[in-house]
């Protein structure tokens, strides 16, 4: 069991300790769930109020919150301090040392120092795995793939041929990097091409053979990237699909072929990015947003949840709605809808009078 003194916690979090009790901390929890040896995390108003009934004897609180007779550690950025605390108490998944007997490593593969390969891991021909990388059970590393140093792959990760993964990358359960892109063509223009060109579909019931376009590009993942469970990133058709350094991608995200994702981006769960999109640096894409193909998103842009993005946006945009528009325009649209509702209400109020006037005019005619 990990145990820390309050002084150690204050030093690690950069907080100011107001000491009323000497407590050995073995856990962290919200005030309502804390016991005497738990540091209560009172980061918001509700949690601060719950300190009056907590069993905890010490709490992490925002700067300026001082409770008489109660031990507190005041921090300027509570969420950042919480991250540091969780890191202190976090225990990584158990990993076998070295190469498990059931792992299959091709003779031409190059394995670095202090590498761990779990049960049933397959490392294909000419693959390279850097020092101190840990790959858990049932994962596959494709032919000529290159994995950097200090990476951690959870179970059932699939890395396609020629994929390159940088240093200190975390891939969660079921991540797929380097599947073929969803790319097809018909011999003659199909309905989608007609609709894009003419705004309508002219042909009916025309059967066409759909030819697959193979993907000869690959996927390149930068350093310090984290990718959530069951997220898929397709290889490029000719060029590589790329994800920049320090980008964090949530679970169940789909990134299509030829996309280029910048540095330091945050992409939340269930986002879908169609092929050949260019996403700038430090872009935030909230949950369930969808991006059409061949569009560009500028640096430092925020795309709101469930936005349907059908066109490009410049840097520092805040994008909302479906179809997505700048936030100010979206608010304007909402105001117009509200005004329209008010007008309809007034019309209904005076509708009997209007009908009476119309009837009167009809009699005169």
Q: Is 257 known to be catalytic?
A: yes
What Cα–Cα distance (Å) separates residue 232 from each residue in 82, 241, 353? Answer: 30, 12, 62
Per-residue pLDDT of the chain (365 residues; tens, 9 = 90+): 789 999 999 999 999 998 877 889 999 999 999 999 999 999 999 999 999 999 999 999 999 998 888 899 999 999 999 999 999 998 888 898 999 999 999 999 999 999 999 999 999 999 999 999 999 999 999 999 999 999 999 999 999 999 999 999 999 999 999 999 999 988 877 777 777 777 777 766 678 888 999 999 999 999 999 999 999 999 999 999 999 999 999 999 999 999 999 999 999 999 999 999 999 999 999 999 999 999 999 999 999 999 999 999 999 999 999 999 998 888 888 788 787 777 777 777 777 777 776 777 777 76
Strand (E) or helix (H) holding 28: strand 27-29
**Cα 186 off chain centre by:** 34
Q: Characterize the bridge pairing of strands 170-171 and 176-179.
A: unpaired
Tell me how far apart the alpha carbons of residues 121 and 266 are, in angstroms, rounded to a whole number. 30
What Cα–Cα distance (Å) separates residue 127 from each residue in 140, 170, 192, 208, 222? Answer: 11, 18, 40, 40, 18
Contact 227/254 with Cβ under 8 angstroms?
Answer: no
**What end-to-end distance do the CA atoms of the chain give, in Å?**
95
Which one, of 39, 76, 73, 74, lies nearest residue 54 by Cα? Answer: 39
Residue 47 makes CB contacts below 8 A (sequence gap 6+) with 30, 31, 40, 41
pLDDT at 365: 62
**Which residue among 100, 173, 257, 294 is the active-site one?**
257
Which one, of 120, 167, 162, lies nearest residue 139 by Cα? Answer: 120
pLDDT at 219: 98
């Amino acid at each position: 069991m990990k145990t820390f003194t309050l002084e150690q916690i204050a030093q690690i979090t950069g907080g100011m300790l107001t000491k009323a009790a000497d407590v050995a901390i073995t856990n962290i929890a919200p005030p309502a769930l804390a016991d005497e040896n738990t540091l209560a995390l009172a980061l918001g108003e509700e949690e601060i109020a719950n300190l009056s009934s907590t069993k905890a004897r010490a709490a992490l609180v925002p700067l300026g919150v001082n409770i008489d007779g109660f031990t507190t550690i005041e921090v300027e950025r509570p969420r950042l301090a919480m991250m540091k605390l969780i890191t202190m108490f976090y225990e990584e998944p158990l990993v076998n040392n070295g190469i498990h007997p059931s792992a299959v490593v091709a003779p031409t593969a190059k394995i670095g120092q202090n590498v761990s390969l779990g049960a049933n891991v397959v490392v294909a021909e000419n693959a390279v795995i850097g020092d101190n990388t840990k790959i858990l059970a049932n994962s596959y590393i494709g032919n000529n793939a290159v994995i950097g140093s200090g990476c951690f792959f959870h179970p059932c990760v699939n890395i396609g041929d020629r994929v390159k993964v940088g240093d200190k990358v975390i891939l969660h359960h079921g991540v797929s990097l380097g599947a073929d892109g969803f790319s097809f063509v018909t011999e003659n223009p199909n309905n989608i091409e007609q609709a894009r060109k003419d705004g309508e579909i002219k042909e009916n019931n025309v059967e066409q053979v759909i030819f697959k376009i193979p993907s000869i590009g690959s996927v390149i993942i930068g350093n310090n990237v984290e990718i959530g469970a069951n997220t898929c990133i397709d290889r490029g058709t000719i060029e590589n699909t790329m994800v920049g350094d320090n980008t964090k991608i949530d679970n169940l995200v789909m990134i299509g072929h030829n996309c280029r994702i910048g540095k330091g981006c945050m992409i939340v769960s269930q986002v879908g990015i169609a092929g050949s999109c260019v996403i700038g640096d430090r872009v935030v894409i909230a949950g369930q947003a969808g991006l059409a193909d061949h569009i560009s998103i500028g640096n430092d842009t925020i795309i709101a949840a469930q936005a349907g993005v059908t066109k490009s946006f410049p840097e520092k945009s805040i994008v909302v709605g479906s179809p997505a528009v700048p936030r100010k325009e979206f608010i304007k649209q909402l105001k117009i809808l509200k005004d329209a509702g008010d007008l309809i209400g007034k019309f209904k109020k005076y509708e009997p009078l209007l009908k009476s006037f119309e009837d009167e005019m009809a009699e005169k005619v």
